[in-house]
Amino acid sequence: MSDDEWVRRTQQRVLEAMRAVLSDDHNHERGLGVLRGIVDQVATDTGVPGLRNLFTALSLALAAALEKIASGQSLAAEDLVEVWFAD
């Protein structure tokens, strides 16, 4: 698989993962099941390198979304992360 194909496939899986988690507010377990299936498929198809790429791409997508939200609220993204994810 070429680098471009690898990037496109990873981006497609990120979108699938996001949709799985966000798709059905009434059935959280179904969304998690779909997400786990995506992760399992990545692990089966591409092993650790694929999981690393998926994790990195998901983290970057989350960071970009948080930056947009923070900007709209005149906050630093780091401050928003602390509010949303700190225990």
Task: Find the helix packing angle between 28-72 and 77-85, rounded to 10°.
Answer: 150
- At 73 the pLDDT is 92
Residues 69 and 80: beta-carbon distance below 8 Å: yes
pTM: 0.80
Each residue's pLDDT, cut to its tens digit, for the chain (87 residues) gives 777 888 888 889 889 888 888 876 778 888 889 899 999 999 999 999 999 999 999 999 999 999 999 999 999 999 999 988 886
